[in-house]
Amino acid sequence: MRWLVALMLFVSAPALGQGVVTDLSDRRIEIRYSFDGADLILFGTVDEAVLDPTLPTFDVVVIVRGPERPTIVRKKDRFGGIWVNRSSLYFPAAPGYYAVAASKPLDQIADAAAYTRGGVGFMNLRLAIEGGPSDEARRPEYMAALRRIHASAGLVREGEDRVEIVGGKLFRTNIRLPAAAPVGAYNVDAYIYQAGKVRGRSRIEMDVVKEGFERAVFTFANEFPFLYGLTAVLIALGAGWVAGVVGKK
């Protein structure tokens, strides 16, 4: 069954990269009222031409990232016995979801310097910020806070998933999108490593979209925010009035 699924994926519309062919079980995820997350399968195969035959094996690192959106990270401090926002850092384009899966623990595939150069791992992302040199010095602290916030919502996954190498040159991994996965465009990148160096790569684009009633509400809220807020207030007032009438009876 595994080989049949792999063949069907590759025949459909594979993503051709530098020595790597990959495909997803589904490139369009629809969010409806019953959506509680999605499990996808990524299959891939490696062209022997990009591999060094003197090395015994290769490793695979898969990164799922997206969608990019403006994000403000605020730092709270205690002031007069209460917690208040004292400082913040603005990221014009931060990923709403970020996951890394690998065939081995990352420290067994390449060194930290290679991941820093390649931007592999959330803390190695080259996220732009708004501000001067003093803000740049605060970047690691606020990126760590952003990672912690996303991880608590299941929107950052690092070291939790594994890539399985099967049949010599084939590989596969499961991609888990949580119920809180943001709507938008995602990139799924597969990197082939040998001796700590990238030998090939491939990219697939994936979309998470709202459908049905959820899509109508989402569109209304984004295109007419004032009317959406007014409607929400009126619905809340109406629900409160009905609850009061029912309570009196």
pLDDT band at 11; cut points 50, 70, 90: very low
Q: Which residues pair with 100 in a beta bridge?
A: 63, 158
Check residues 133 and 80 and name the one with the higher pLDDT.
133
pTM assigned to the model: 0.77
On the question of pLDDT at 120 being above 70, the answer is: yes
The pLDDT, as a whole number, for residue 87 is: 84
Which of 76, 7, 1, 64 is CA-nearest to residue 38? 64
Three-class SS of residue 23?
Answer: strand
Give the distance, in angstroms, between the CA of residue 179 and the centroid of all CA atoms in the same chain: 12
On the question of pLDDT at 7 being above 50, the answer is: no
The pLDDT, as a whole number, for residue 16 is: 55
The whole-angstrom separation of Cα 10 and Cα 7 is 5
On the question of pLDDT at 13 being above 90, the answer is: no
User: How confident is the model over 201-238, as pLDDT tens digits?
Assistant: 999 999 998 765 454 555 545 555 666 566 666 666 66
Identify how many contiguous H helices and E strands the chain contains and give both numbers: 5, 11
Check residues 35 and 44 and name the one with the higher pLDDT.
44
The whole-angstrom separation of Cα 107 and Cα 92 is 30
The whole-angstrom separation of Cα 174 and Cα 182 is 19
pLDDT band at 4; cut points 50, 70, 90: very low
Write the DSSP symbol of residue 18: B
The whole-angstrom separation of Cα 97 and Cα 151 is 9
- The answer to whether the CB of 24 falls within 8 A of the CB of 8 is no
Domain boundaries, the chain: 2-66+97-208, 211-249
**Torsion over CA of 146, 42, 67 and 103, rounded to 10 degrees?**
30
The pLDDT, as a whole number, for residue 225 is: 67
Burial 225-235 (b: 16+ CB within 10 A, else e): eeebeeeeeee
The pLDDT, as a whole number, for residue 103 is: 94
Whether a cis peptide bond, with omega within 30° of 0, leads into 67 is: yes
On the question of pLDDT at 17 being above 80, the answer is: no
On the question of pLDDT at 70 being above 90, the answer is: yes
Give the DSSP per-residue string, 18-77.
Answer: BSEEEEES-SEEEE-TT---EEEEEEEEE-GGGS-TTSS--EEEEEEEEEEEEEEEEEEE
User: How confident is the model over 159-176, as pLDDT tens digits?
Assistant: 889 999 987 789 999 998
The pLDDT, as a whole number, for residue 154 is: 92
- The answer to whether the CB of 188 falls within 8 A of the CB of 206 is yes
CATH of the domain spanning 2-66+97-208, picked from 2.60.40.1930, 1.10.10.10, 3.30.565.10, 3.50.50.60: 2.60.40.1930
The pLDDT, as a whole number, for residue 6 is: 46
